[in-house]
């Protein structure tokens, strides 16, 4: 009895220490973020990529601008596709947002959302070798947003939509995807869903369960989980084994409050899921849904601690819980582990198993640009999930390591090649190439940026904060 009591006291002490360390680290990250953003005046800059000294008697300004630049213009007049060869369009992505749904902060506007967009541009650049720039729009009108994007596409090879509120994000993505012939991507939908599917694939391998037999609980049906549902069933999950919980409770075929919902608000799709999921027609809230569940995925607008530890304890043995809300999850990882969950994932970078869409979008855009894909398809997105999962499986799987980290450059190369070959297979690549050539192209683009940054830091042209 004394031994058991001492063990319990020791375990409680360790858990409290971990929680304190987590809170202390969060505070330090927050403080350093404010300091470093001010020190560097943002995350990115634009620099020349060409030789700036005289070449064969012709100086930079003569060939790059007037009078020589006119010849490049004439080439494009004769063949518009040459804009990809004669400008940076082939490697340029715009990150476009109106700041209406930024991280867990909500509608903070385009000015306050700009640091997030710049951070995204940094990740595009460093992890994908892509010349990305942020563009924050001062409009909440989705049709005006769409019109602006359609009119700036001559300058860019791809568009990454970011932090746009639901349901506008669905409407904007669908319309642009159908009307433009360059890759359009909404990272809060496709990127988050893809990395979550990768976590599910590997998590199930660790706990020894099959996707077609697993019971799923999906908490929240916003951008991320709606996109996940579009991928989860094709990946093998049985609709009847999935229970979805929205802000009004569990979806089921008697939820007539959503039957005649507005398609633009996403309720038409929600009604379709209500009819095919939840085979036993359970009603109630997340408490009831989590009973016996093998996997729970939470991407909701609910507040901190909106998921109760007591509910989690009713999940199946060897359960997986993905609390993806960021920066504040619906339930903290420490509480999930105390409740007996075997595999815990979050959207935060200061915990193991971060479900970070940054593992997905740099590689997806890298390959889309290199093979000049006209679209980013569902098949390409699923291919990205599988590539990430397979990469980590080769490295080794354990409960605290089911996904690679963003520091592993290899995952982005393998993923880009895998997804690029899928685009070629689908016949949507305007610049197809064999796997060996694609790999060399991807490696060179990514290593170029990393080597430039490394050189600038070595020469102290990028200063280290002290």
Give 188-239 pLDDT, tens digit per residue. Answer: 899 999 999 999 999 999 999 999 999 999 999 988 999 999 999 999 999 9
From 236, 235, 234, 226, select the one nearest 273 (Cα to Cα).
226
pLDDT tens digit sequence for 376-393: 999 999 999 999 999 999
Residues 6+ apart with CB under 8 A from 410: 391
> b/e string for 339-364 if b means 16 or more Cβ within 10 A?
bebbbbbbbbeebbbbbbbbbbbbbb
* pLDDT tops 60 at residue 92: yes
Task: Pick the most confident of 270-274, 319-323, 453-457.
Answer: 319-323
Q: How far apart are CA 416 and CA 429, in angstroms?
A: 14
List, for residues 37-53, the tens digit of each pLDDT value: 999 988 888 888 899 99
CB count in 10 Å sphere of residue 86: 15
Q: What is the mean pLDDT of the chain?
A: 91
Q: Please confirm, yes or no, whether 82 is among the known catalytic residues.
A: no
What's the rounded mean pLDDT across residues 55-72? 94
Active-site entry in 120, 166, 209, 270:
120
Determine the pLDDT at residue 262: 66
In the numeric block, the tokens 């007539």 are attached to: 256
Give the model confidence (pLDDT) of 126-180 as tens digits: 999 999 999 999 999 999 999 999 999 999 999 999 999 988 999 999 999 999 9
Cα distance between the two ends of the chain: 52
Query: Pick the catalytic residue: 20, 65, 210, 400?
Result: 65
Catalogue the E-assigned strands of 241-362: 242-246, 249-250, 295-298, 320-323, 343-346
CATH class of segment(s) 60-189: alpha beta
* 65 catalytic residue (yes or no): yes
Instruction: Tell me what pLDDT residue 261 has.
Output: 65
């Amino acid at each position: 009895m004394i031994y058991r009591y001492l063990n319990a006291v020791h375990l409680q002490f360790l858990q409290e220490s971990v929680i304190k360390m987590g809170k202390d680290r969060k505070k330090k990250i927050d403080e350093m973020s404010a300091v470093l953003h001010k020190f560097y005046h943002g995350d990115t800059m634009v620099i020349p990529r060409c030789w700036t000294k005289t070449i064969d008697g012709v100086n930079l300004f003569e060939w790059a601008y007037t009078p020589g630049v006119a010849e490049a213009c004439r080439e494009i007049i004769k063949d518009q596709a040459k804009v990809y060869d004669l400008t940076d369009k082939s490697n340029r992505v715009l990150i476009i947002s109106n700041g209406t749904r930024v991280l867990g902060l909500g509608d903070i506007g385009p000015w306050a959302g700009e640091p997030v967009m710049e951070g995204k541009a940094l990740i595009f650049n460093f992890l994908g070798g892509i010349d990305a720039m942020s563009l924050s729009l001062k409009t909440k009108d989705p049709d005006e947003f769409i019109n602006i994007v359609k009119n700036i596409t001559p300058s860019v090879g791809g568009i990454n939509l970011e932090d746009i509120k639901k349901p506008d994000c669905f409407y904007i993505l669908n319309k642009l995807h159908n009307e433009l012939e360059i890759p359009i991507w909404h990272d809060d939908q496709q990127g988050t869903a893809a990395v979550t599917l990768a976590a599910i694939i590997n998590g199930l391998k660790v706990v020894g369960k099959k996707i077609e037999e697993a019971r799923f609980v999906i908490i929240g049906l916003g951008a991320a989980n709606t996109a996940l549902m579009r991928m989860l069933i094709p990946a093998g999950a049985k609709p009847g084994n999935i229970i979805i919980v929205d802000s009004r409770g569990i979806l089921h075929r008697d939820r007539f409050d959503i039957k005649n919902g507005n398609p633009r608000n996403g309720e038409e799709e929600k009604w379709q899921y209500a009819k095919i999921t939840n085979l036993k027609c359970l009603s109630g809230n997340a408490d009831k849904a989590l009973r016996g569940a093998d996997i729970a995925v939470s991407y909701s607008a609910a507040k901190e601690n909106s998921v109760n530890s007591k509910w989690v304890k009713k999940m199946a043995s060897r359960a997986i819980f993905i609390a993806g809300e960021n920066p504040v999850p619906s339930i903290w990882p420490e509480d999930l582990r105390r409740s007996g969950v075997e595999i815990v994932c979050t959207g935060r970078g200061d915990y193991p198993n971060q479900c970070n869409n940054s593992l997905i979008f740099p590689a997806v855009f890298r390959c889309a640009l290199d093979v000049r894909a006209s679209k980013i398809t569902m098949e390409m997105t699923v291919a990205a999930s599988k590539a990430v999962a397979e990469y980590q499986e080769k490295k080794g799987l354990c409960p605290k390591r089911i996904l690679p980290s963003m520091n592993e450059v290899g995952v982005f190369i393998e993923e880009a090649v895998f997804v690029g070959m899928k685009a070629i297979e689908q016949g949507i690549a305007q610049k197809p190439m064999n796997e060996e050539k694609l790999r060399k192209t991807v490696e060179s683009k990514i290593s170029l940026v990393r080597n430039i940054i490394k050189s600038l830091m070595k020469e102290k042209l990028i200063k280290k904060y002290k």
